[in-house]
Amino acid sequence: MRVTQNMLNNTMMRNLNNSLNRMDKLQNMMSSGKKISKPSDDPVIASRGMLYRTSIGENEQFKENTGAANDWMTESETAVGEVGDVLSRVKELITQASNDTINQGDREKIRDEIIQLRDHLGTVANATLNGRYLFNGTNTDQAPFANGVYGSTNNEDINLEVSQGIKMPMNVDGIQLFGQSNPGVSSLTDFQSALSPSDKAAYDKAGGTDLFSMMNTLIEKLKPSEYATDQYGRTLAADATGRPIFDASGKSELYDPNDHLQTKLKNESFVRGAEGQLLAADKNGDPILDLTDPTNPTVKVYDPTATTPMQWPLKKNTSGSKLLAYDKTDTAVPKSIVLYDPTSTNQVPLVAPENKMAPVAGKELSGYLDVIQKHTDNFLQVRAEIGSRMNRLQLVQDRLDSQNGNLKNMMSNGEDADMAQVIMDLQNNENVHKAALAAGSRIIQPTLLDFLR
């Protein structure tokens, strides 16, 4: 077969083009660090890379979920720890108060501290993370504690998927924590047998319902005297008729023993509305009605500046048959006050104020130590559950980190170029290409210009 000059030229150009293609591919590998730049370069590696990236993306989302769950449970554990500290302090205070040798002033100081501890518990019950309430089940946009009452009825779990097909609850059951769904709290028959029927009822209420009811009962038991005080324990002032004295801004004045026109304001002598405001009475002590809705008369709020008619605070025991009542159908806490209708099954008459002068017996207070311990045991159980969940969550996070590393290594092994090998191959191809160019220059047919030189 005759080899022509044109055949030599075509073969040389084809080889040079192949050499350039190889160098272009090697240069792309050097600049990108990857073996392939498009699926057609290696369909198997490309398909595996897509699977690896999908798995890594899922793992990253699982890691975000575990991070969110860990943050939620960390905040919950901190809150539960605060409650444990509060209960420990309450137990210490009640132990002191149950000693009949301490005076009433000391019990008053104990009561004031328990009030602060109860208020702090309310703050803990309404703990939030990123604006979401921790202890109200799935109703994270609603505060579970309001008006001194833990009112949540939602104990549903907030589940987050932390691995393929694995979901974990990240929230704490607030009803168990504060609402005392644990039935073991109320089984205290040994102490109850030594109490009167009324004390037994109060004791059952404290031990069988929620933590705040127990603390409110303790605060009531430790009430120091029949005289009303402000939030700092200072006695408030009344006039000669026993009605409270207000300053120009409407605040109750403090009792001044040097003022002969003042007396001490008696505790629980006056009726208050749902928001704690005094209700109004006329000069005879009868309630002044608000007849805006004639079908449902209510009692007006006391206005110390009112002149028509003249107003005084309303006492609990009104004259004659004009008794006041709680309306059981009212959902407000505390219930609204209405005129008592003995024919209505929805009304409960207000009872006479109890005598708070007699100090509670130390034995009765010591019995509440068992109730406090039951609550403490319950909190320890909840805290242990949080700890076990956090430990498992840490194991899941470690596994996700390990999986992520393995997936990235496998993807790298398939896609990443061996840079040392690429550099060597590129250098060899450059030498080959230069040699091809040199050889080609010798076989190309001379032209007229070559002869003219």
CATH assignment of the domain containing 206: 1.20.1330.10
| Residue 92 confidence (pLDDT) | 93
Please report whether residue 20 resides in a domain.
no
Would 102 be classed as within a structural domain?
Answer: yes
**Same domain assignment for residues 186 and 55:** yes
Same domain? 245 vs 383 = no
User: Has residue 186 been placed in a domain?
Assistant: yes
What's the CA angle centered on 121, arms 115 and 125, to 5 degrees?
A: 150
Does 374 share its domain with 312? Answer: no
Beta strands in 255-393 (DSSP E): 263-264, 280-281, 289-290, 298-299, 312-313, 324-327, 337-339, 347-349
Q: Are residues 142 and 61 in the same domain?
A: yes
Q: How far apart are the first and last CA of the chain?
A: 34
Q: Which of 242, 265, 288 is the last residue of a domain?
A: 265
Q: Are residues 281 and 409 in the same domain?
A: no
DSSP state of 39: G
The answer on 309 and 248 residing in a single domain is no
Shared domain for 320 and 261, answered yes or no, is no
In order of 144, 146, 184, 216, 321, the CA distances from 152 in angstroms are 5, 10, 20, 18, 39
Q: Within a domain: residue 236?
A: yes
Structure tokens at 262: 């003042």
pLDDT at 207: 44
Residue-wise pLDDT tens digits, 425-447: 778 888 887 887 777 777 766 66
In the predicted model, residues of the chain with pLDDT beneath 50 are 181-195, 202-208, 319-321, 352-358
Same domain, 147 and 280: no
Domain that holds residue 43: 34-225+362-416
Residues 234 and 219 reside in one and the same domain: no
266 within 8 A of 228, measured Cβ to Cβ: yes
How many structural domains does the chain have? 3
Same domain, 329 and 218: no
Residues 245, 299, single domain; the answer is no
Domain assignment present for 449 = no
Residue 21 placed within a domain: no
- Whether the CB-CB separation of 169 and 159 falls below 8 Å is answered with yes
Specify the pTM.
Answer: 0.54
pLDDT in tens, 316-340: 655 444 566 767 677 665 556 677 7
| Residue 428 located in a structural domain | no
Count Cβ neighbours within 10 Å for each residue of 296-326 and write b for 16 or more, e otherwise: eebbbbbebeeeeeebbbbbbebeeeebbbb
Tell whether 56 and 174 lie within a shared domain.
Answer: yes
